[in-house]
Structure 1
Amino acid sequence: MRDTDTGRIPAYHERTKHRLERYAAGPETLDWSAQPDPFRTFEGTDRILLPLQADRLDTSYPDLHRPDAVPPRALTLDSVGLLLELSLALSAWKEYGPDRWSLRCNPSSGNLHPTEGYVVCQNLEGLDDGIYHYLSRDHALERRARATAAPPGSPSRLLLGLSSIHWREAWKYGERGFRYCQLDTGHAIGALRYAAAALGWGLRQVDTADADTIARLLGLDRAGDFLGAEAEEAELLLEVVIGQAAPPALPVFADLDWAGKANVLDPHPMYHWPVIDEVADASRGPLETTPPPPETDYPPRADLPAVAAAAVIRQRRSAQRFDRRFELARTDFYALLDALLVRPGVPWDVWNHPPALHPVLFVHRVTGLAPGLYALPRSRDAETKLRAVLRPDFAWTKPSDCPPHLPLFLLAEGSCVPLARTIACHQAIAADSAFALGMLAEFEDILSIAPWRYRQLHWQAGLLGQVLYLEAEARRLRGTGIGCYFDDAFHELLGLSGKAFQSLYHFTVGQPLDDPRITTEAPYPRNRA
């Protein structure tokens, strides 16, 4: 890592903050009729249509969180299709007047979807060895590279690559778009982990591959294949684990026959944001050794809603409006927060780094709980650190009926509805919900040692958001990720100075109000099972 990168990443973060007196640099106008194509395709590739099977999956949502509750499926073309159907696929089409747009299982800032998925496989039944791009529009694999078949008896392997197309977010959000790409990567990690659990599989990050290695493996460094088209930034590589797996290692292909040219998403871009390329270059980290999973002593989660896993995953939506009269049951509120504590198992076993993000909550309407500002330190060290830097007059009292293991603390009592709305860029969704929160990241200490972990902090924030989305849906509630907020106004409210903690993501949960004028259609026109 170059010495200059230590300063470039914090400088980018500071530069891209929204402030009460001005927003971060972005386009002055948007022509929605000229929105970039939401689907990356590769012309000249063979396409393999995948079966649609989620309707027949009998895994329950509680099963995802119970060790060995789901017998592992074999690695086959069908199971790969089901994994993708529950993670990166379309979940619905929406229509309002002349407008039609798709939703996906993995959330995205502005529904712009910069995250692309790739499949790398060896010795899978029904699928030739090689590298494939996943086309969510058609629920199909595009064969980017065919490999020489592995020798008979070789172990079956399935890896999943994620990349980002920065222009998708920058088109709407300008310089702040890099942040949103990283949050979306975190959501995709979570979506893939839940989907893998529904098939009885584990999932782990392949830390023996840096960004350049992943780019070479996925063909993202093949400049000729992206001539005139928007580039893709390699993010990370994940491997499906069944049983006792060998240490992570990259597959070795004897030969690869590449095919396909990337489509142009936006033929007439009106802006360019060089700082995004600069922070992307500065945040590509070296190889890391996976740390051991953090030790925790939280009790197993209880009273998980007995609903179908596939239904929860595919009905996930971002609420556009909330019922401001709704009061959230206190038991549901505690359960939602309990889901954010790191335990062995789903989804935290895909993430071995200690918890570095800690919610601060604006509690509006929770039955029997005083409205006010609350904190949820997700580690004992974090509680000590937060007490040292937050306002000295905060109360730090625990609600009387809060579960003993849940580290929830009341900081200040009183209505914070106007504050929540103002800090979330004046958005009503932060005030009309049952509660909203901002995720404070341990920032300065982590980046001073490993600046490239700027991406990983956002991934962890996106993973927390994915947990909240699914936990809310399982309880017939709805969440909304909030990327637009006034960074330093939130810090000042809490008494934070300096850069020890920085807010990376906001979120809100409540009872949604649906717009009956918007119609919903199935994600795919017919069943291909």
Structure 2
Amino acid sequence: MDRLQHAMLEYHERSKHRVSGYAPGPGKLDWATQPDPFRVFHGAPRIGLPLAADSLTTRYNELRCGALPPARRFDLASLAILFEVSLGLSAWKSYGTQRWALRCNPSSGNLHPTEGYLLCPTLPGLSAGIYHYQSRDHSLECRAAVDDERWSEAFPPGGVLVGISSIFWREAWKYGMRAWRYCQHDCGHVIAAMSYAAAALGWQTRLMEAAADDAVANLLGLNRGEDFGQAEAEAPDALLWIGNPEWRPDLERMLIVLDSAQWHGRANQLSPGHVKWPDIDSIHRATHKPCTREPTLPTPEEHPSPTLPAVDLSFARIARQRRSAVNFDGATRIAEAAFFSMLACLLPRHDTPPWNALMSPAAVHAALMVHRVGELEPGLYMFVRNPGALPDLKQALRPEWLWQKTGPDHLPLYLLLPYDLRATAKLICCHQDIGADSCFALGMIAEFGTALKQPWRYRHLFWECGILGQALYLEAEAAGVRATGIGCFFDDEMHALLGVADHTWQSLYHFTVGGAVDDQRLSTCPPYEVQP
């Protein structure tokens, strides 16, 4: 095991929550240093975007079935919709004198460490360059103007790049060492949110998996120390190509042209004071990604389309009404058909969001604790998203599991143990009632061996978990219930339940779906003052 592998594994173990003690955190919240939820680049020219999501007629069910509408042209108006229903505000909540924003993309603690960027050629209504998306005002801040035709020539016809970065401090302020994990979950949520939004406009999305972190940082201007000063740094995460999936932009050519670009703006400082978390710095270094080969797209299995959801909504509406449940009623049941339809949407499908964004085979599976699903027997189930993983899972988990095929023939769902696991789910979810009061809870079980070989893949496993989570969020809304991601869980209690004895498989994210109990004390306002 080399130095980077050891550092990655050490962070993974040290950042686990355990029944005997939680991962190191701040202890109490320092409200005087609460981070500003909105990054702004002062002095950067700003372009206001139209609020036009209500003009988007694409139905959510069409997207989940892979039936994309005709592609819109790439222009300012269509890109405004892309950002509005992916990274834009979805509502304002208030309680007394307190007021806070919700966004279409979910985030641990609603802290939103993720920033979004647009890299584009010359388009109708938009000059070539690099833009930072400002969700508070639904606007683009021009970070770099590129007046060089080679920049636009580096883009294939009909397409743009979306860049993603993370500000670790936003999560570390509340969650301490474990915050890095949550930043990776949130990156996965954003990848999925972008994939769904692009598909609603008729566009395909692909993760630029070969790109090195240094190239992403250079292209987004994250390495420009003079533009950040004392402001919190942004870590490079990913580039998404949105356009013709057969083509890719020439990143090397773009980097060369950037030498002559005109940069604008200085980042605002989000907090007046900070607490250092050396373990976050260590895992950031250990998972630094070099340039790699572009993976070969696997041939996905053909699966029947999921059945029509209970609530047939437009994508724009479902994206903006998505919420994270805080409490469940402990009584709501969902039909078996709805449950099976949700699971069907977690299987990789060709050119279907959100899985069209990923080029690598599925590496995360779902261990389900079913409580209230029609006539389905309560118990522990395993949903195997990649059939090639089934033999390894059977070998790695408890030998006494049944592995009884359950549900429709096309769903790789297996009953391991019929049992009432509500108390177990509550315990694993850090003693939270939401684990037991749901219709079902699940742990996302990742092929951790890939990260042990290449530590940068540790991040990608968390991203895949976040993508799964976003699919579950939207599926829950379409089923008339609600979901919530759970970052606080006792890692090794889940492993003990399954019978995981080593690091071949590890649980990286938990989720619950059920009948939400809304807090009637809270008021809700529209996301933006002016609606079309």
TM-score class, shorter-chain normalisation, is: over 0.9
- Residue 436 of structure 2 aligns to a residue whose secondary structure is helix
Distance 1:503-1:78 versus aligned 2 partners, 3 A rule: same
Find the aligned partners of 2:96 and 2:222 in 1 and give their Cα distance: 38
Residue 428 of structure 2: aligned partner:
423
Structure 2 length normalisation: TM-score?
A: 0.95
Amino acid at match of 2:273: H
Find the aligned partners of 1:347 and 1:501 in 2 and give their Cα distance: 24
Quote how far apart the aligned CAs of 1:152 are. Answer: 12
Distance 1:68-1:409 versus aligned 2 partners, 3 A rule: closer
Quote how far apart the aligned CAs of 1:142 are. Answer: 0.6
Q: Equivalent residues in 2 for 1:261-300 (5 A)?
A: 261-269=266-274, 271-300=275-304
Alignment partner of 1:74 is 2:81:
no
Q: Equivalent residues in 2 for 1:340-351 (5 A)?
A: 340-345=346-351, 346-351=353-358
Q: Which moved more, 1:147-156 or 1:364-373?
A: 147-156
Contact 2:368 2:441 in 1 (8 A): yes
Amino acid at match of 2:113: P
Distance 1:95-1:496 versus aligned 2 partners, 3 A rule: same
Alignment partner of 1:361 is 2:368:
yes
Q: Equivalent residues in 2 for 1:124-163 (5 A)?
A: 124-150=123-149, 154=153, 155-163=157-165
Contact 1:461 1:505 in 2 (8 A): yes
Amino acid at match of 2:393: L
Contact 2:94 2:523 in 1 (8 A): yes
Quote how far apart the aligned CAs of 1:149 are. Answer: 4.8
Amino acid at match of 2:417: A
Amino acid at match of 2:335: A
Residue 373 of structure 1: aligned partner:
380
Find the aligned partners of 2:67 and 2:188 in 1 and give their Cα distance: 25
Amino acid at match of 1:147: V
Alignment partner of 1:326 is 2:328:
no
Q: Which moved more, 1:285-294 or 1:6-15?
A: 285-294
Alignment partner of 1:495 is 2:529:
no
- Residue 367 of structure 1 aligns to a residue whose secondary structure is coil
Find the aligned partners of 1:415 and 1:394 in 2 and give their Cα distance: 15
Residue 462 of structure 2: aligned partner:
458
Amino acid at match of 1:211: D
Alignment partner of 1:303 is 2:307:
yes
Contact 1:424 1:484 in 2 (8 A): yes
Alignment partner of 1:476 is 2:480:
yes
Find the aligned partners of 1:90 and 1:410 in 2 and give their Cα distance: 40
- Residue 432 of structure 1 aligns to a residue whose secondary structure is coil
Residue 4 of structure 2: aligned partner:
5
Amino acid at match of 1:246: W
Quote how far apart the aligned CAs of 1:156 are. Answer: 4.9
Find the aligned partners of 1:135 and 1:120 in 2 and give their Cα distance: 14
Residue 246 of structure 1: aligned partner:
247
Residue 411 of structure 1: aligned partner:
416
Residue 205 of structure 1: aligned partner:
207
Residue 190 of structure 1: aligned partner:
192
Amino acid at match of 1:281: R
Find the aligned partners of 1:100 and 1:33 in 2 and give their Cα distance: 17
Alignment partner of 1:395 is 2:398:
no
The CA RMSD over aligned residues, in Å, is: 1.7
Find the aligned partners of 2:68 and 2:120 in 1 and give their Cα distance: 26
- Residue 333 of structure 1 aligns to a residue whose secondary structure is helix
Residue 21 of structure 2: aligned partner:
22
Contact 2:396 2:499 in 1 (8 A): yes
For residue 352 of structure 1, the aligned residue among 359, 377, 400 is 359
Quote how far apart the aligned CAs of 1:245 are. Answer: 4.4
Contact 2:121 2:151 in 1 (8 A): no
Q: Equivalent residues in 2 for 1:63-102 (5 A)?
A: 63-67=62-66, 69-102=68-101
- Residue 72 of structure 2 aligns to a residue whose secondary structure is coil
Find the aligned partners of 1:423 and 1:94 in 2 and give their Cα distance: 30
Contact 1:362 1:436 in 2 (8 A): yes
For residue 181 of structure 1, the aligned residue among 176, 180, 183 is 183
Amino acid at match of 2:223: D
- Residue 395 of structure 1 aligns to a residue whose secondary structure is coil
Find the aligned partners of 1:381 and 1:404 in 2 and give their Cα distance: 17
Quote how far apart the aligned CAs of 1:497 are. Answer: 0.6
Amino acid at match of 2:441: A
Quote how far apart the aligned CAs of 1:248 are. Answer: 3.9
Amino acid at match of 2:439: A
Q: Per-residue displacement from partner, 1:12-71 (whole Å, max 9, x unpaired)?
A: 101100000000000011134642100010111111110001112111112214556401
**Structure 1 residues not aligned, in runs of 5+:** none
Contact 2:331 2:515 in 1 (8 A): no
Contact 2:329 2:515 in 1 (8 A): yes
Distance 1:236-1:77 versus aligned 2 partners, 3 A rule: same
For residue 445 of structure 2, the aligned residue among 415, 440, 450 is 440
Contact 2:68 2:199 in 1 (8 A): no
Distance 1:393-1:35 versus aligned 2 partners, 3 A rule: same
For residue 321 of structure 2, the aligned residue among 299, 302, 315 is 315
- Residue 118 of structure 1 aligns to a residue whose secondary structure is strand
Alignment partner of 1:58 is 2:60:
no
Q: Per-residue displacement from partner, 1:192-250 (whole Å, max 9, x unpaired)?
A: 000000000011122442111111111100011111110000011111114x6434422
Quote how far apart the aligned CAs of 1:407 are. Answer: 1.2
Contact 2:65 2:306 in 1 (8 A): no
Quote how far apart the aligned CAs of 1:457 are. Answer: 0.4
Find the aligned partners of 1:208 and 1:409 in 2 and give their Cα distance: 35
Quote how far apart the aligned CAs of 1:5 are. Answer: 0.4
Find the aligned partners of 1:238 and 1:426 in 2 and give their Cα distance: 37
Contact 1:298 1:405 in 2 (8 A): no
- Residue 398 of structure 1 aligns to a residue whose secondary structure is strand
Distance 1:515-1:132 versus aligned 2 partners, 3 A rule: same
Quote how far apart the aligned CAs of 1:280 are. Answer: 0.6
Find the aligned partners of 2:210 and 2:427 in 1 and give their Cα distance: 44
Find the aligned partners of 1:329 and 1:497 in 2 and give their Cα distance: 35
Contact 2:209 2:295 in 1 (8 A): no
Quote how far apart the aligned CAs of 1:153 are. Answer: 9.1
Find the aligned partners of 1:335 and 1:118 in 2 and give their Cα distance: 34
Contact 1:123 1:149 in 2 (8 A): no
Q: Per-residue displacement from partner, 1:246-272 (whole Å, max 9, x unpaired)?
A: 344226336310111111111122x21
Amino acid at match of 1:89: G
